[in-house]
Amino acid sequence: MSNSQQIQQYFNQAVQLMQRNDFTGALKIFVALENTGWKDFRLFRLTGIAYERLQRNKLACDYFKRSLTENPAQHDLFSSLARLQAALKNYPTAREWHQKAVSAAPGSDAYTKFAAFLLSDAVGEADEALSWLNKTGPEEANSERVLLLKARAYELKHEFEQQLSTLQTAREQFPDSKAVLTALAGYYNSAGQDDRAEQAYKDALARPHVSDRDWENLAMFLLGKQRADEAVGVVKKGLTAFPQSRTLLRLLSSLRYEMGEEDYLSDYRHTPLTHQPLPVALDYVDQSIKAGNYDQVAAVLQKLIGQHGNNPTIYQRVALLAYEQADYSNAIETFKALSEHTPENDNLKEWLVKALIADRRVSAAQPFITQLIDADPRNQIFWALQATAWRLTNDERYHWLCDYDKLVKAVPLITPSGYANTASFLDALKPALVALHTTQRQPLEQTLRQGTQTTGNLLDNSDPVLQSLREALHNTANASLSDLPNDASHPTLSQAGRKIDFSASWSVRLKDQGFHISHVHPKGWYSSAFYVDLPDTINESSKSGWLHLGKPGIAVQGNIDADHWIKPEPGKLALFPSFVWHGTEPFQASRHRLTVAFDLRAASHP
């Protein structure tokens, strides 16, 4: 057999492994073939596909590019590279590949893929997306996908009549589509048409091929309408159909926790964890670590190791447990080994950095911080880690990064139209917010303690008072941030001067001894605290209940306190970069501390 015949034989074996979803096995053959010096676009293309299926997106990009070098006519790889770059959060590069795709192979498929990218939460370019959607052919223009994308664009533009009209057209043409029904339900929910929204969510559940997400949609709608008991019932019904749904199990445990149940994780134990899919068992481990049940977690992990062997996802939890128990040396060793095995896993690097900082090995953490920022420069937690490292090493760049005088604003709310003054507006706002706080304690995954948080996106609520709040907060934030200087190298100032919009919003109601653990908002640009109602104990005599900035929310050696404080006052809006560590001091009072918070995003282009 000739050498070329052997190469082809091995290549065919790898293809067969790919068809059986054995991507790791296929890669071993592909790498061996590459080491022989064989350069073929098919080899590089399939290697890229294998890496993508294994979620090693950077390597997938490298091999797709090499495949294009050997055969530039593979225009479909332009869209693949765009998708991968978006997954890597390299949005400008993703845009460039989409532009190459529409130039190389103009047509409806490339146009709709580009439009979907432009309409993603991270980009939000509705006008440009519509221009591409309007180039689709007559048949594609009325396809389900294009109509849904157009409806999303009109929603981003706040052209709600056009959004509804487009969705109604889609409903007429695709009456059995769950996607259309779900989009209509979202529209009705935002428009305050609760009965129609609920019916649309229920209609989606009556369609074929129901998924656990459909049950989650109805449950989240009910939860947003302060119907928590009904939401729990819906989740339980969904689990009857999908007993191993990670989505529904996580939601149910969170709801049960917020409603005050002590054994809120019991649904995970209806079946022995060793008889459940590994991801479900690991979800239970993650939540048990958060609950501080360390001895129980250690026993479960040992059982899982006995069942699944040296599975990296299990050992990631072993390292997490070591970190939480302040066993930083073992945590570092395990996180480092795991990160070397999967170098593209930024989550592992993030935890490695936290463990190194906790172990006073800040200089060893710095190269990994640099890698994280280079990989995802808009991830605010990475900049928070950089701020912590620079502060701990007395690096002057900390003062450039965390220039509180320049970056932090604490300003009075611009009174919304229809109200004589801010005080009268707060009098109307307070009962509207209190009515939304229906749970007994904080969400399971959040940083507040001794308090409650509203569900859903608060400023999307159709209540006229909350819409007035949205208008006032947007006007105030826009005016306050309009004079920020531009600095292309700064994570916040590099986006100064761009159009802003809300990316998330909620209300927090803290009670006696309530506080926020120091934290950051990874997906924001600017974050906030707007003060609605405060107990009298929050005053000048002490900093109880005050907002503090700069105190690290990760384990560090020594007492590293806040280096900037904001005194809460009714009607005051505090704005600060989302990468800045922030929290609140505990307070003693019989009255609650009521606030609204939101994250702002800046447009992807000036």
pLDDT value of position 516: 64
Cα–Cα distance, 113 to 143 (Å, whole number): 14
CATH superfamily to which 75-174 belongs: Tetratricopeptide repeat domain (1.25.40.10)
Of 400, 369, 363, the C-alpha closest to 383 is: 369
- Closest CA relative to residue 185, chosen from 157, 209, 213, 143: 213
Nearest-angstrom CA–CA distance, 141 and 594: 47
Structure tokens given for 172: 């007429």
Average pLDDT score, the chain? 90
Instruction: Give the model's pLDDT for residue 452.
Output: 77
**CB distance 569 to 498 below 8 Å:** no
Q: What is the pLDDT of residues 199-231, one digit of tens each?
A: 999 999 999 899 999 999 999 999 878 788 899
> Has residue 440 got a pLDDT over 60?
no
User: What is the DSSP secondary structure assignment for residue 543, as one 8-state letter?
Assistant: -
What would the two tokens of residue 397 be? 């760049």
- In this predicted structure, what is the pLDDT of residue 453? 80
308-337, pLDDT tens digit by residue?
988 999 999 999 999 999 999 999 999 999
Non-local (6+) Cβ contacts of 343 within 8 A are none
Residue 573: pLDDT band (50, 70, 90) is: very high
Helices and strands counted in the chain (H then E) = 27, 9
Q: How far apart are the first and last CA of the chain?
A: 61
d(CA 200, CA 184): 7
pLDDT band at 120 (very low <50, low <70, confident <90, very high): very high
- The pLDDT, as a whole number, for residue 533 is 87
Q: Choose the weakest-confidence range: 138-147, 330-339, 384-393, 597-606.
A: 597-606
pLDDT at 536 over 80: no
Which two structure tokens, joined as six digits, stand for 2?
A: 């000739």
Q: What is the pLDDT of residue 593?
A: 78
Instruction: State mean pLDDT over 477-502.
Output: 93
Cβ neighbours for 565, distance < 8 A, ≥ 6 positions apart? 543, 546, 547, 548, 549
- Band (514; pLDDT cuts 50, 70, 90): low
- Tell how strand 500-519 and strand 593-602 pair up: antiparallel
| Per-residue pLDDT band at 446 (split at 50, 70, 90) | low
Question: Residue 448: pLDDT above 70?
Answer: no
How many Cβ atoms from other residues are within 10 Å of residue 146's Cβ? Answer: 22
Q: What is the DSSP string of 249-289?
A: HHHHHHHHHHTT-S-TTGGGGSS-GGGS-HHHHHHHHHHHH
Instruction: Return the structure tokens found at 572.
Output: 């005051």
| CA distances in angstroms from 75 to 106, 132, 184, 276, 319, listed in the order given | 10, 18, 35, 42, 43
- pLDDT, residue 442, reads 52
Query: Is 248 a residue whose pLDDT tops 70?
Result: yes
Higher-confidence residue: 205 or 190? 205
Host H or E run for residue 104: helix 91-104
- What's the confidence (pLDDT) of residue 441? 54
Q: Which CATH superfamily is domain 404-602 in?
A: q2cbj1_9rhob like domain (2.60.120.620)
Give CA separation, 87 vs 84, 327, 471, in Å: 5, 33, 33
In this predicted structure, what is the pLDDT of residue 604? 67
Average of per-residue pLDDT across 264-279: 88
The two tokens of residue 420 are 């004589």
Express each pLDDT in 29-82 by its tens digit: 999 999 999 999 999 999 999 999 988 899 999 999 999 999 999 999 999 999
Query: Quick one: DSSP state of residue 532?
Result: E
Which tokens hold the place of 513? Answer: 């001894």
